[in-house]
Amino acid sequence: MFFLQLKYELWKLFGKKRTYIGFGAFLLVQNAVILMFRFTKATGAIRRALEGGGYPAEAFLTASTIATQVVIPVAFLLLPLYVALVGGDLVAKEAEDGTLRMILARPISRVRLLALKWLAGALFSVLLSLMLGLFGWLFASLWFPQGGLFAIQLETGPSAGFAVFGGAEGAWRYGAAHVLLATKAITIMGLAFLFSCFNMKPAAATILALSVMFVNAILMNIPWFADYKGWFITHHLNLWQWMFLQSPPLARMGESISLLVGFNLTFFAVGAAAFQVRDIKS
């Protein structure tokens, strides 16, 4: 019964055109960036960095390298926007449209309904993250050869250096990074979902979630607060980037995953508590 109801939630989610805005935007942005790399001199800096480090540029100017360069800005800006949009819609849009009242005339409990909706949103977030990786790699493969992976180490800034991986290792790190990117997508979706459980418009829930994320990112990037990075959720949301470090800090990654699980449980619990006590009226 639970999975049948989950299927219905997915029908509702994927039946809406706005659910696909994210996928469409990824296609456009990724192709634009890949074509910029292909038809401008933008690869020159990568080539110089590789050759300066003693690596043959041709072996690493590949589809994986370009796809990785593409995913960074998309994951920073577009992915949060689209998962927050869907998360903010999940409850608030149904309340706004009046369908929530139709549902809550049924014998389903509010917590179960929220669990179904959260799960549908989480599946969407996972799918969007994986599609981001797949689309990037597919489109980059149209213009660049297969081979090793060159990745700037974002953790300590571009000037800190880069890492290079052979073809097979590069492929699995690229895949694993996108699986971990799903944790970021789910968490932001979950935050928007939390606000969506309150009596507010869907757009307000989306904007609030993004505002929290941006405020976190701003605070985290103030150099004087560097010692307190671990306090900011955005720091833990970036754990997917650590897959591109030469030696991924597994303990730190485990810690971040645990914290994100805690954040998600908290978001759900607070949202469910707020929704439980709400009066649902037309």
Interaction between residue 199 and another protein (CB under 8 A): no
Q: Which is nearer to another protein, 104 or 171 (CB)?
A: 104
CA distance 149 to 74: 19
Closest approach of another protein to the CB of residue 99, in Å: 5
Interaction between residue 8 and another protein (CB under 8 A): yes
Q: Which stretch binds another protein (CB under 8 A): 11-19, 62-70, 196-204, 218-226?
A: 11-19
> Which of 40, 159, 250, 279: binder of another protein (CB under 8 A)?
279
Interaction between residue 274 and another protein (CB under 8 A): no
Residues in binding contact with another protein, number by CB under 8 A: 27
Q: Which is nearer to another protein, 41 or 281 (CB)?
A: 281
Mark 53-92 with x for binding to another protein (rule: CB under 8 A) and - for no binding: ----------------------------------------
Interaction between residue 277 and another protein (CB under 8 A): yes
Residue from 148, 136, 146, 139 nearest 68 by CA = 136
Q: Within 95-124, which residues bind another protein (CB under 8 A)?
A: 97-99, 101-109, 113
Q: Within 14-33, which residues bind another protein (CB under 8 A)?
A: 15-17
- Residue 281, burial from CB neighbour count under 10 angstroms (0-12, 13-18, 19+): exposed
Interaction between residue 3 and another protein (CB under 8 A): no
Phi, psi of 73, rounded to the nearest 5 degrees: -65, -35
Interface contacts to another protein, rule CB under 8 A: 1, 4-5, 8, 11-12, 15-17, 97-99, 101-109, 113, 277, 279-282
